[in-house]
Chains A and B, each alone.
Chain A
Amino acid sequence: MSKGFDVRRQPGFSTIAIACFVLLYLPILLLVVYSFNAGSSIAIWEGFSWRWYVSAWENEQVKDATIRSLVLACSASAVATFAAVLAALATTRSKPWRGQTVVFAMVNQPLMVPEIVTAVSLLIVFAAVKQVTGYTGLGFLILAHAAFCIPFAYMPIRARLQGMDLSLEQAGADLYGTPLRVFRYITLPQLWPGILAGSMLAFVISLDDVVITEFVKSAGQDTLPTYMLGQLRRVVTPEINAISTALLAISVVMVTGFFFVNKARK
């Protein structure tokens, strides 16, 4: 074989890969670009302007949905992260125990069951509860979101716990630290990156959810994604692009942050 022969090269693969990256980002990029369009078209560029951001900002429905989305994502990710930290503490560093499989199956259920199935199951149950109790508040959405966020918060926290050096905790216990104090002063400070990563992931997942929210929400309880889904049936203006761009920005910041928090521990 000739000296310059590269065993790793496969003809055409790099071309496909580059095309893949371009195609992955091009639609999103166009969406972002046209959110700054001065005209009301999403395909013909008429100059730069902030007008669609202004119009989205002044739209009461959008403002309402934004606040609801953020409140929902914050409370759901907080609840999910709290539950996930405790569950991760219970399921790491112990010998296999009875009921372990059931617990893992339950934690992972939201990842395995198709979203539409979970959505209709919640519709059935919550519709009945709403009828009986008369309560139609945000509580249902928070509960539903917290449930499907748990596995996403659980994974990085559990990974962090498993990678932790146990000798510090043992030293703490040897120095007569109570389990609670050992957790507070030794485990928790080491666990923070995992908790941060888990809650960020849960926040993004909650913020982006459409299907389950669409089925669980009561009348007039639109979040940003369900509001957008409703708007798609009408004439589309770059206002939707502006809202999308804002949501995208939050997601990208969160995901990149998650990536670096996660990487820092290696």
Chain B
Amino acid sequence: MSETAPSAPSASPGRRARSERRNRWLLLTPAMVILSLAASGPLLVVLIYSVLTPGDYGGVEWRFSLDSWFAVVVERDFFTEELTLADAHLMVFWRSLKLSLCTALLCLIVGFPTAYFIATRPARRRDMWMLLIMIPFWTNLLIRTFAIMELIRNQGTVNTLLVASGLIDEPIQMLYTEFSVLVGMTYVYLPLMILPIYASMERLNFDLVEAGYDLYANRFQVLRRVIFPLVKPGVVAGSILVFVPCLGAYVTPRVLGGGKQLMLGNLIELQFGQLRNWPLGAALSLTLLAVVMVALIFYVRAIGQEGERDV
């Protein structure tokens, strides 16, 4: 190989390209090694595990079987061998989907006006407002979930205040319900909605809004017919950015749902913990991953539209 030859001061273009390529891969090596050992590699192992037979005490036996993939949606009756829909799984799927969609909607209702508010502040101040949105987001998710828990538990601030004011006689059970998971996820993921909507709105041309008013539109019509269509890619992006982590949420439903309001993430954990069915857990993980990937494709398309609009 020519690389082993002593290097001349003026290398030929071919050799320079080759050494550039070698340097590039040398530089990439540490990151690629770490990522293949602790990210991509293990993901491939999950794929393999999903088509193996569960072992008796967790783990797997190395026998090929597609049972786990069927078990994601159907259940085989232990005695009659009859196949029925796996109600328990479907209920968890449905709850995950429902709560994720509701969270995205709630975040949109709160986030859209907030993003609009920030985008209409003087340019100098906008960064500070956005920093205020981002600080909670970069702080510990568990702590934020925990803050909500303290607020709504039976002996928590909200119930204590309500009882003290005489509005209610007994604390309302809010914790460990779907409501508490919904509130928690909205609180935790709200910044993910505001960020992309704000990015769209910051570039909103208010001459167009003014033109709308000149054409005798009222405020609501301007909002619906002018502003909303212009920032729609941001709205779509934000909704997906909220929807995706909700779907795979684990900490929030565990803390605020108290093991009663299982979501997909908790169902996966159960298979690796108490239920000791690793292949089923692997199949469920990949199902979740597939849904997330589809959502992310829509996200990339929404971002793409955003770019086209600028041109």
- Interface of A toward B, CB cutoff 8 Å: 1, 5, 7-14, 16-21, 23-25, 27-28, 30-31, 34, 41-44, 79-80, 82-84, 86-87, 89-91, 94, 97, 103, 106-107, 109-110, 112-125, 127, 143-144, 146-148, 150, 154, 204, 207-208, 210-211, 215, 225, 228-229, 232, 236, 240-241, 244, 247-248, 251-252, 254-256, 259, 263
CB distance from A175 to the nearest CB of B (A): 15
Taking CB atoms, residues of chain A closer than 8 Å to B303 are none
Please, which residue of chain A has its CB at the minimum distance from the CB of B115?
A17
Contact present for B144 and A28 (CB under 8 Å): yes
Given A106-B39, A109-B43, A252-B135, 11 more A-B residue pairs with CB atoms under 8 Å apart are A17-B118, A27-B151, A43-B160, A44-B160, A90-B23, A106-B36, A117-B43, A117-B46, A117-B288, A118-B42, A236-B150
Stretch among B69-77, B79-87, B231-239, B277-285 lining the A interface = B277-285
Interface size class on chain B is: 35 or more
Q: How far is the CA of A17 from the CA of B117 in the complex (A)?
A: 6
Taking CB atoms, residues of chain B closer than 8 Å to A121 are 42-43, 45-46, 285
Within 8 A of A (CB), among B236-257: 244-245, 247-248, 250-251, 254-255
Q: How far is the CA of A177 from the CA of B167 in the complex (A)?
A: 77
Q: Contacting A256 at CB < 8 Å: which of B135, B245, B250, B255?
A: B135
CB distance from B92 to the nearest CB of A (A): 13
A-B contact pairs, 9 of them (CB 8 A): A13-B116, A27-B144, A27-B187, A43-B157, A90-B27, A112-B293, A143-B34, A150-B34, A228-B142
CB distance from B275 to the nearest CB of A (A): 13
The 0/1 profile, CB within 8 Å of A marked 1, for residues 253-278 of chain B is: 01100000000110011001000001
Q: At the interface, is chain B mostly helix, strand, loop or mixed? A: helix
Contact present for A251 and B140 (CB under 8 Å): yes
Q: How far is the CA of A248 from the CA of B157 in the complex (A)?
A: 20
Taking CB atoms, residues of chain B closer than 8 Å to A215 are 272
Contact present for B288 and A120 (CB under 8 Å): no
Contact present for A124 and B110 (CB under 8 Å): no
B62 interface residue, CB < 8 Å from A?
no
Contact present for B37 and A116 (CB under 8 Å): no
CB distance from B202 to the nearest CB of A (A): 13
B213 interface residue, CB < 8 Å from A?
yes
Q: Please judge, given known A-B contacts A24-B136, A83-B31, A97-B21, whether A247 and B45 are in contact too, CB under 8 Å.
A: no
Contact present for A256 and B28 (CB under 8 Å): no
